[in-house]
Structure 1
Amino acid sequence: MTPFTTLTAVAAPLLIDNVDTDAIIPSREMKSTGRTGLAEGLFAPWRYVEGRVPNPDFVLNQDAYAGAQIIAGGSNFGCGSSREHAVWALAEYGIRAIIAPSFAPIFAANCIRNGLLPMVLPAEVVAQIAGQSVAIDLAAQTLSCGGETHSFAIDAEAKAMLLEGLDAIDLTLKFGAAIDAWTQTDRAARPWIYL
C-alpha cells in the first residue's frame, strides 16, 4: 500500500449522517470479488440519475470536487454491512481520507487495512472544513484549515500501518524474527506438536 504521511486537498462535503456501505457501493455494483473495478459504482445511487448519467447535484460530480481525495462526512459514516468493497471503491476512486464525527467500527478498521485515514473530529469542525482545502499531517496528528489547527486521535498501531503503508499481514511479518524464535523454543519444549 501507499504510505499515508501528509495530504493537502479539498474536503468534499458529504455531510450526511449514517452513510451506509450499500450507498457507498451497492451490491449490484460488485461484479467481482477483487479490489478493482469498483470506482465506477462508488455512490452509484447518488452519483448517477439514469444508467450512468452523472447527477450534477452530487458532490463528486461537481467541478470543485472533481478528483477528490478527502471526504468530509457525517456521523456514523460507513455503517451497515461489513463489506470491504466499500473501502476498496473509495480507494480506487482516489479517496485517501474521510473526516467525520464518527465511523462504524468495522468500516474504520477496513479503512486502516486499506490505506485510508478515518479521522474523527467534532461535527462542528467537520462542518467548518467541508468544502475547504485542508492539510493533514498524520505523524503530528493534525489537520490545518484556514489558519486553524485541529488535533485528532488515532490508535498507535493504525497510525504505524498507515505511515508505513502496511496491511495486517505486513504488520505481522515485521515480527518475523520474534515469531521464528518463539517457534524454535516451542519446538524444543513440545516436539510432539511438530511431527
Structure 2
Amino acid sequence: MDKFETLTGIAAPLPLINIDTDMIIPKQFLKTIKRSGLGVNLFDEMRYNDDGSENENFVLNKPAYRDAEIIVAGDNFGCGSSREHAPWALLDFGIRAVIAPSFADIFYNNCFKNGILPVVLPQEQVDALMKDAENGANARLTVDLESQTVTGADGTTYAFEVDAFKKHCLLNGLDDIGLTQEKAPSIAAFEARMTQERPWV
C-alpha cells in the first residue's frame, strides 16, 4: 500500500449527501477480486449516459477535474453496503483523499486499509473547501496527514482529527498484511522456539 503523507492536488466538488457505495461502484462491477481496473466504472451511473457515452455534466468528466485526487463531498459519504470495491475504485481512478462532514463507519475504515485518507470536517469548513473546489484546476487543496490539516486555495488551514493508529498505518503504508509483516521477526522467533520446545507439534 502506498504511503500517504502530504497531498496537493485538484479537488472535485461533489455536493451530494448520502453517496452510497452502490453509487461509487455499482454492484455489477463487484465480480472481480482485483484492486485495479475499477476506476473506469467509478460513479458509473452518474458518469455515463445510457448509450455508454460520457455525461459531460458530471464533475469527473469535466476537463478541470479529470485528474482530481481529492473529492469534497456531502454528509454520510460511503453509506450503504460494505463493499471494499468502493475505495478500490476511488484509488484506481486516482483519488487519495475524500473530505466530508461524516462517513459511514465501514467505508471510513476501508479507506485507511487501501491508502485513502477520509477527512472529517465541520459542515461550514467543508462548504468553504467546496467553494474552493468549484474553481477547478486553478484551485488546489493540500492535505497534510502528519500535521492533520487541510489548506484551502486561499491559504486557510483547517485541522482534522484522526485515530493515532490509523494515522501511523497510512503514513507508513501499512495495510493488514503490512502490519503482520512488521512482526515477521517475532513470528519467526516464536516458531523457532516452539520447534525446539514442542518438536512433536
Match of 2:136 in 1: none
Question: Which of 135, 138, 141 is 2:142 aligned to?
Answer: 135
SS of equivalent to 1:126: helix
Identity value in percent: 48
Match of 1:170 in 2: 178
Structural mapping, 1:67-146, within 5 Å = 67-130=67-130, 131=133, 132-145=139-152, 146=154
Q: How many residues align?
A: 193
Distance in 1, matches of 2:196 and 2:102, equals: 48
Amino acid corresponding to residue 135 of structure 1 in structure 2: T
Amino acid corresponding to residue 65 of structure 1 in structure 2: Y
The answer to whether residue 160 in structure 2 is matched with residue 152 in structure 1 is: yes
**Cα offset for 1:173?**
2.1
Any unmatched runs of 5+ in structure 1? Answer: none
Match of 2:32 in 1: 32
Distance in 1, matches of 2:143 and 2:61, equals: 24
**Cα offset for 1:176?**
2.9
**Cα offset for 1:68?**
0.7
Distance in 2, matches of 1:13 and 1:41, equals: 18
Most deviating of 174-183 and 103-112: 174-183
**Cα offset for 1:187?**
7.4
**Cα offset for 1:37?**
1.8
Q: 2:19, 2:76 within 8 Å by CA — same for their partners in 1?
A: yes
Structural mapping, 1:10-29, within 5 Å = 10-29=10-29
**Cα offset for 1:150?**
0.8
Distance in 2, matches of 1:135 and 1:170, equals: 27
Amino acid corresponding to residue 56 of structure 1 in structure 2: E
Cα-Cα RMSD: 1.9
